[in-house]
Amino acid sequence: MDEFEDILEPRRNHFDIRFALKSRDSVPMYKYAKQQTRTQVKESVLASPRLKFTIDKISTEKGISRNDVEKEAEEILEDMAHSQSLTNLRTLAYIFPKLYKRLLRHLYVNRDGIEKLRSQVKDAPIILLPTHRSYQDFLVMTYVCFHYGLPLPFVATGQDFNNMKFINEVLRMCGAFYIRRSFGSDDLYWALFTEYVQTNVINGELPLEFFLEGTRSRTGKFLPPKLGLLSVALEPYFTGKVPDILIVPVSFTYDRILEEVLHAREMLGIPKPKESTSGLIKARTILQDSYGDIFVHVGDPISVREMAVPRIDRSVHNTLPRFLFNLSAAEQKFSAELAYTVQDYQLKHIYISVWVLCATLLAQKPQGYTLREFCRDVEWLKDLATNLGAKIAWPGEYSVQTLVTSHLKRHHTFVNLAHKNQVAVNAYEGSPQSQSPVEFSCLDEVMSLAVVPMGIAMYRNHLLCRLANVCILATSFCGSTEIKIHELFIRFWFLTRLFQTEFIFRPSVVETEFPATLKKLESCTFLQVSNTEKTVIVLSNGVKALQFLSKMIEPFLLGYWMVLQYLEQSPCKLENDNYSKTVAKNIQAHIAQKVIDGERKDFETLSLNLLNNALTSLVSMEVINKTKSDNGGSLTWKTEKIQETMNKLGVFIPGSEQNAGITKRGNSRGPQLSLTSKL
Amino acid sequence: MALDPMTVTFPQESVKVERQVTFIKVQRVFAGKLERRETAQGFRKEGSLIGRELRLRQEVLKWNGWGFRDSKFEFDGDGVGSFKGTRYLLSGMLPHLRGFAESIEGFRVEDKLPSQPEIPSESLPKPVTHDEFFREIHHSGISFSLDGQDRLFRAHGHTLQEIFTLRTGLFARIPDIVIWPGCHKDVVKIVEAADRHNVCIIPFGGKYQFGCGTSVTNGLECPKEETRMIVSLDMSQMNKVLWIDEKNMTAHIEAGIVGVDLEEKLAKYGLCTGHEPDSCEFSSLGGWIATRASGMKKNVYGNIEDMLVHVKMVTPKGVMEKNCQVPRMSTGPDVHHLILGSEGILGVITEVTLRVRPIPPCRTYGSVVFSNFDDGVNFMREVARQRCAPASIRLMDNAQFKFGASLRPPPSSMWASLVDSLKKFYLTRLKGYDLDQLAILTLLCEGTQEEVAAQEKRVYKIASQFGGLAGGEENGQRGYMLTFAIAYLRDLALDHHCIAESFETTVPWDRVHDLCRNVKERIRQECKAHGVKNEPYLTCRVTQLYDTGACIYFYFGFFYKGLPDPVHVYEAIESAAREEIIAHGGSLSHHHGVGKIRKKWMKSTISDTGYDTLRAVKNSLDPRNVFGSKNLL
């Protein structure tokens, strides 16, 4: 267990002004750091061979004068570059503790990780790679660095923030630099972005910080890593411009995420307000709420050199000038693997909040818990998760009841403790479940009812993505207590492929993950592997756990099932607009209609994220096809293949054989779900 | 077969007499400029006596270290450093040496590790002999020796691993016989006999074959698994300048001649080759060609391939040579380029025609101080771009600058030390230079007085654009002295539990700076990873510039006490350093060659196809692998 310390503690006892003005003389520095002002960086970017080459190319190809291209380059760069200023940061360092002290109980940081980082700052340029669950991540990271007297990072930020007047400049002065979300074929932008990031990395004065996931994860799960910026940031190592690069994975845990409701709505496709300063001011009411604890786990720095030396031949760059961006296939593969390694590390070092345990339980059983039962189950789940390797942020000094109650209170948006210590999920945000069954009449109604279950599911996903392998294995038993090991593997492999987009599996690791997961469950005495019989037997000890674990993943199975069902029932028509986004929307509407009709109650399957992931997975499993086109790619599918997959998936869905029969008869009635505890 | 070594013919005493005559003539030619010329020849104060020392080199040269026995660094009983011997300008007390040595982590003056005593002949491996071959050589009247010390002496070059073995152990395999051919014909006879009888030949240069580092590539090491008789073909008797053609500016020379001797002989005619590798006191003409050597003054005279007009190589399939002596020809791929860099695996080089040049009347030293290494590199790149480099131009990094400073003699007077501190004050206080950052550049200009003056003016002007300050002639001269001293320094290091070695590369201009920094960084990391407790000593200098890139020379040493197998640790680290060099666009070697220690990178360096081509040449010229040193391929 890592040792955490609360860095807000000293702020509660001392004047913030002293903190804001504290000396930064002893901040460690990369030993070959080159200190450049914003203007110098810009000048050297614009004067770089890369830019010269690109500007020449553009002006020749498009017949624009060099001057015009140069001018455009200068403007783009001006808009992109950060302008971190210590004066500005000190002002924020005065304001932020005041805010945090009000919003948070504790801000925990693992001191150990900080010290390791500090001792290696001098060795190589640093890249901080935090998980991304909230807007706050960037500010918290900078605050932590300021608190510990570490160099303050410059941070890749989406262009959308640059549209917020005033705030964009404040963030810029904190070290934000702005990049467009996509700029595929814009050569000039590519060159500027590459050169700008690399100049800063090579200078090594400030650590580069960005989010591998590319954007905030709204689902509580990890998003597949985006490799563009990572490749750009690593190239200076491959071309020998820096001796090494240190990658520092950082995991954030929030008891309560500021934007929880916003995220839930977004998943449902309820339009999100555009990032704007006025929007932010309106959202200030969130500042009156309480958000509990934040855990920041700073990981051990990973030396890119140590990882790369045995497998990467950098000499492939010797016969090309270094200003042409160029990564070998091996280097691209390496970058991807590094990204997965980092995410794996982040995942393993996320501290699961007690609230996440609560949400996991409530997702399976939204009502009917007495507080006593609930506390008992929370403890049971805590032990289960701990045994399975998850790290739980469980402060030992409080009783379970105190802990649980405080978390439930904090999350009054989603749950309530109103009646006689009954724990129950709210019907709408902030309003308790009414006794009479809710009637829904229109789509909007369904969607707003789905917000709370989405929110709960989002928190549950924090645990689910940590235990995904175990959950998939548990599901692979399909309720039987004895199973041939190879059959188990085939099912595990199928589900792993099916959920590759959902839980970022590297398909290459299935072979190693399967025995490891099996072993983990065996060591918990949940099951027994008989090597002679080549079977796996579920022990009495494990029945409850395995059932619980497979239930955790059930909503996803159902969601994927519904996707397939929709595709089966609506044969692919080429004249239709089959862009995957449109298809996902149609499926969502289809499901919503079933909810209105009272056929189904699983709100979670309304998540556009889930539906899109399902389509992506099916494409990569070649169940359906995607043709590439300019605006997203269009889907085509054949009924036979869909049915084939439905047969495979049906094994895992309770009562599906019956359903299969129904669908064959062309009946549109949905599966009779044996889920007792859906909303 | 037991043979009395004393029956072997000795080289004629007359050689010595001839040498002395030569020396007097040289003095006459260089009347008034004697001192300059001597400094040009590696700071040797006396005339060359190399010829006389030929056979019994054991008496004059160290058997287990670099150079002359009477020349070495030493700390006396009180720990005061000095350089013994009077052969070099650098000699006597060096009061700053100890401070420098002890700045290397772990180094303590009192903590000495002496070498093993000379290995008695009885303990050396018994020679493997081939009776018929031996009989043929015996009857031909060519000089040879089976004496153990003679054989041991030719069993190695100056690679760290070899010297370490000499100091602490024994080679598994040494040559079985030393043969001294006297002329081209002798060589033809020996090679024919060897091919007929399947005997292995390893050519051995005037002193130590293989150019400047004087084999720093394990090039002379006998392959352990070699079961045939191994001949060390000592070329040192083939040391005559056969003719000089002043009209065409060429000289025809036997390949066994040692650098300094060659220059002395040519000087009689007011000529020189201008080829001045750092090892020119000990390395031979044939060795230079066999390794593609590079001389300090290549900016004026070119590298060895540029001055080569004609060459004869005796191979088992006959003699390879051209039928004319012309400056250039278009007759398919140049066969000279098969001979250059062949590292003794294709044949033995016997006679060479070199281009010669008139000795320039004026030579000056100079130096420039830069506030940091990067500025110096940028300056050199600009000099290369403007093509105005003087004969030699070298940039030393901060660590090497400090080492150079440690070789200062004691201040001659109060006045001198005052001047020293004033200089320091000027640099650090007035100019804001950081003594831990600054780099020093040394210059050597040659030509007529006017040419030299113009050159200097132009170079100093560019230097000032890069913030360089003229650092004076004395610093420049000391810089070049350092080159000769550093080779001796390794023995001092070995005496004190330190391993030290040099390696070099060439790299395009845009990567010079990154390569220097990252290679040092990699070595530091590898040292840590291999359990070297103390910070290693690392330094580099840019020694040659070209239009498109530069040659970089690294020195690397570490205190190894406590490591169970320091040589292997060293090898692993050097290998990692080379990988880092290659990853940064550096070459496998600029002039040291490949030998055995860098063979593993040959294929990736020249592509599989290129490698197969060389292999085909080897198989065609030497199908029985007579030249079986196993270098290069």
- B559: tokens are 């205190």
- Kindly indicate the confidence band of residue B305, based on its pLDDT and cuts at 50, 70 and 90: very high
Mean pLDDT on A296-313 = 94
Lowest-confidence pick of A205-219, A567-581, B97-111: A567-581
Could you tell me which residues come within 8 angstroms of residue A410 by beta carbon, excluding any fewer than 6 positions away?
A255, A256, A290, A291, A292, A355
Under the phi-then-psi rule, with left for phi > 0, alpha for psi from -120 to 50, and beta for the rest, what region is A637? beta
Q: Report the length, in residues, of chain B.
A: 633
Q: Which residue has the tokens 């970089």?
A: B552
Nearest-neighbour CA in chain B from A35: distance (Å): 15
Q: Which residue pairs from B423-432 have beta carbons closer than 8 angstroms and sit at least 24 positions apart in sequence?
A: B427/B369, B427/B469, B431/B371, B431/B469, B432/B371
Residues above pLDDT 90, as percent of chain A: 59
Judge: A240–B585 Cβ closer than 8 Å, yes or no. yes
Out of A32, A240, A313, the one facing B511 most closely (by C-beta) is: A240
Q: What is the pLDDT of residue B6?
A: 36
What single string gives the DSSP state of each residue in A424-458? EE-SBTTBPPPSSPPP--SHHHHHHHHHHHHHHHH
Q: Which residue pairs from A394-399 have beta carbons closer than 8 angstroms and sit at least 24 positions apart in sequence?
A: A394/A354
Residues above pLDDT 90, as percent of chain B: 54
Q: What is the pLDDT of residue B90?
A: 78
- Judged by a CB distance cut-off of 8 A, whether residue A321 touches chain B is yes
Q: Report the length, in residues, of chain A.
A: 679
- How far is B249 from B176, CA to CA, in rounded Å? 41
- Up-side HSE of residue B504: CA atoms within 13 Å toward CB? 21
| Average pLDDT of every residue of chain A | 87
What pLDDT, in 10s, does the model give residues B262-282? 999 999 999 999 999 888 888
Model confidence at B407: pLDDT above 70? yes
Is position B433 annotated as part of the catalytic site?
no
- How far is B579 from A313, CA to CA, in rounded Å? 9
What pLDDT, in 10s, does the model give residues B155-176? 888 888 888 888 888 888 999 9
Q: What is the pLDDT of residue B591?
A: 92
Nearest-neighbour CA in chain B from A237: distance (Å): 10
Q: Is B213 annotated as a binding residue?
A: yes
Mean pLDDT on B12-21 = 33
The residue of B524, B526, B580 whose CB has the most chain A CBs within 10 angstroms, and thus the best one to mutate to test that interface, is B580
Q: What is the pLDDT of residue B536?
A: 92
In terms of Cα–Cα distance, which of B290, B132, B256 is closest to B182?
B256
Q: What is the pLDDT of residue A520?
A: 93
Q: Higher model confidence: residue A631 or residue B189? A: B189
Asked if B277 contacts B288 with a C-beta cutoff of 8 angstroms, the reply is yes
Mean pLDDT on A155-179 = 89
Out of B517, B579, B585, the one facing A318 most closely (by C-beta) is: B585
- Kindly indicate the confidence band of residue B519, based on its pLDDT and cuts at 50, 70 and 90: very high
Asked if B614 contacts B623 with a C-beta cutoff of 8 angstroms, the reply is no
B414 CB-contact burial (10 Å; exposed 0-12 / middle 13-18 / buried 19+): exposed
Mean pLDDT on A166-195 = 90
- How far is A568 from A565, CA to CA, in rounded Å? 5
What pLDDT, in 10s, does the model give residues B44-93? 333 333 333 445 455 677 878 888 888 888 888 888 888 888 878 777 88
Mean pLDDT on B27-33 = 28
Q: State the SS3 of A579-603.
A: EHHHHHHHHHHHHHHHHHCCCCCCH
Q: Is B211 annotated as a binding residue?
A: yes
What pLDDT, in 10s, does the model give residues B338-396? 999 999 999 999 999 999 999 999 999 999 999 999 999 999 999 999 999 999 999 99
Q: What is the pLDDT of residue A532?
A: 83
Q: Which residue pairs from B222-225 have beta carbons closer than 8 angstroms and sit at least 24 positions apart in sequence?
A: B222/B155, B222/B171, B222/B173, B222/B174, B222/B175, B222/B629, B223/B173, B223/B628, B223/B629, B223/B630, B224/B172, B224/B173
Q: How far is CA A530 from CA A171, A473, A522, A544, B226, in A?
A: 59, 17, 11, 21, 57
Residues above pLDDT 70, as percent of chain B: 87
- Kindly indicate the confidence band of residue A536, based on its pLDDT and cuts at 50, 70 and 90: very high
Model confidence at B423: pLDDT above 90? no
Q: What is the pLDDT of residue A507?
A: 67
Q: What is the pLDDT of residue A427?
A: 79
Q: Which residue has the tokens 């009812």?
A: A449
Active-site option among B365, B433, B553, B570: B553
pTM higher than the cut 0.80 = yes
Nearest-neighbour CA in chain A from B561: distance (Å): 26
What pLDDT, in 10s, does the model give residues B589-608? 999 999 999 999 999 999 99
- A564: tokens are 């397939």
Model confidence at B27: pLDDT above 60? no
What pLDDT, in 10s, does the model give residues A447-491? 888 889 999 999 999 999 999 999 999 999 988 889 999 999 999
Q: How far is CA B419 from CA B92, B287, B405, B412, in A?
A: 22, 45, 15, 11
- How far is A264 from A425, CA to CA, in rounded Å? 15
Q: How far is CA A486 from CA A196, A489, A525, A536, in A?
A: 52, 5, 20, 10
Judge: A32–B604 Cβ closer than 8 Å, yes or no. no
